[in-house]
Amino acid sequence: MNSHRTAQSWFGQAFLDEHTDLIQQERARRHLGDAPGMPAFRDVHEQLTYAFTHGLITAPPTAEVQALLAAGDLAVRDAVAEDAKEQDDRSMALRHPLLLGRWENALRDLGHQVTEQAWVKSPHGLGTLPDDFYALPRAQAMDVLNARRFLAAIQQRRTEYKRCIRQLTLALRERELNDPRTLAFAKAKEAANQSLSDAHPAEYAFIRSVLRPHEVRDGYLPGELVGNDQRAQIKRDVLTALEQGTWQQATPPRPQETQAHQTVHEVQR
């Protein structure tokens, strides 16, 4: 994942009005007229909703999809839990573009709910059981093991969720690349991004300084960070610091060690 593009995307959201004006100026300078592409989005789920609504991606809105769209969060969470338990029988409705965001939210909530019962520190990994587990009464030990099995199922579904997101965004990206007019607008946006970072070099440098410790090599973030709760939290912290003017006092957080980081460290040693 390109770290520079991530920084530019967050930067554009931090200075949304100014960024929008710069994009319009670049389009006017290049005589491009109205944009044929998609507007700026808060997240990938908003992008997919727009794409579905405007016919850029198609997926049948089945009766089950319609029911889940109208359901409350608790009902959706129950459906997600049931889907995770039935590993060989997937609910295709949850994989509909309009439901991916609610699927992710429910998976995240379920993971956090079972963390303590599964004797893990994070919902993103199981790790090994401590020695005192083996001294538990059988019934209590089975509760822990069942919680760990459920958490493993949740983690598997999170992997599937990320795969769905990648497939859909790749399809949208390929569609854009095949449109020369869209490419011209992309060039105008790149120029606007550069103008914005030139206008606020210190703030842009702050975002880069936050992302840099997470890079596996210069300018590239680990793939595990895509759609990760950690990335979402970093983004929220960055935008909050810029909005509140506290970014000059903010200290970039130390990244959690990933397999990609470990591999790089081993090569460097």
pLDDT digits (tens, 9 = 90+) for 1-37: 788 888 899 999 999 999 999 999 999 999 887 766 5
Amino acid at 199: A
Give the C-alpha separation, 268 to 261, whole Å.
Answer: 11
Side-chain half-sphere CA neighbours of 208 within 13 A: 12
What is the domain partition of the chain in residue ranges?
3-36+181-268, 63-176
Higher pLDDT, residue 170 or 36: 170
* Neighbouring residues of 258: CB distance < 8 A, sequence distance ≥ 6: 216, 222, 224, 225
Residue 150 has pLDDT above 90, yes or no: yes
Q: Is the pLDDT of residue 174 over 90?
A: no
In three-state form (DSSP H/G/I as H, E/B as E, the rest C), the secondary structure along 209-264 is HHHHHHCCECCECCHHHCCCHHHHHHHHHHHHHHHHCCCCCCCCCCCCCCHHHHHH
Query: For position 33, what pLDDT does the model report?
Result: 77
pLDDT confidence of residue 38: 59
Pair 103, 80: CB distance under 8 Å: yes
- In the block, tokens 């994989």 appear at 95
Whole-model pTM: value is: 0.57
pLDDT, mean of residues 240-268:
58
Q: d(Cα 128, Cα 125) in Å, to the nearest integer?
A: 10
Of 87-91, 133-137, 154-158, 164-168, the one with minimum mean pLDDT is 87-91
Confidence label for 259 from pLDDT (cuts 50, 70 and 90): very low
Two tokens, residue 111 = 């993971």
Distance CA 74, CA 7 (A): 35
Run of H or E including 162: helix 138-177
